[in-house]
Amino acid sequence: MSRSSLYQGRDPRELPAYSVAEASRYVDVPAATLRSWFSGRTYPRVDGIGSFEPVLAPADRRTGQLSFRNVVEAHVLRALRTRSLFLEYYGELLHLDNSEQIAIRRVLESFLSRVDWDDRDIPIRLYPFLRGAESVSRSIVLDPQVSFGRPILVDSGISTSALVQRINAGEAIDAVARDYEITPTDVETAILFEKAA
């Protein structure tokens, strides 16, 4: 079956491919938060029930499945949320001095630099952060054109979950690295990424 018949003319970036749980791992946002971004939620208030309207629309409203585009939207929203936390801490944007504005801009730039864009400014790849290591190089990628958008090692194209499955089966890191002709560090990176959730 060819790739074009598999997608039936649809852009793979728009296809529902990720559960909320998967996407939450890839963008490092709690699943409950991500679910509320896409589905909204209710919450108790003193005078009754309040509601939080969704801010993003899932690729498949019936199942709640997210597309690659949705994952990128959540990644960018996380950046904006991080910026919002800076603003809460520092006060209104108008009162920030130059160094504080630069710090906020750097946070946004660090998130946006993790996305590759095509010539029409449409996202085509996302390099997720490793939890707790946001300055780490772009060693893992989500590319909807490769491995159905599941995380792979950038340099080799090997699925991070395939590496972790072999380690979980009792194989040594060095042996797995030799089999795939990658470094033990690559295997360790895959493990860190897969186990971060």
Taking only the tens place, the pLDDT of each residue in 129-167 is: 886 555 567 899 999 999 999 999 999 999 999 999 999
Query: Does the reported pTM lie above 0.85?
Result: no
- 7 CB burial (10 A radius; 0-12, 13-18, 19+): middle
DSSP states along 164-184: HHHHHTT--HHHHHHHHT--H
pLDDT at 115 over 90: yes
Q: Work out the average pLDDT over 177-184.
A: 96
Can you give the pLDDT at residue 133?
56
Domain residue spans in the chain?
A: 11-150
The whole-angstrom separation of Cα 59 and Cα 69 is: 8
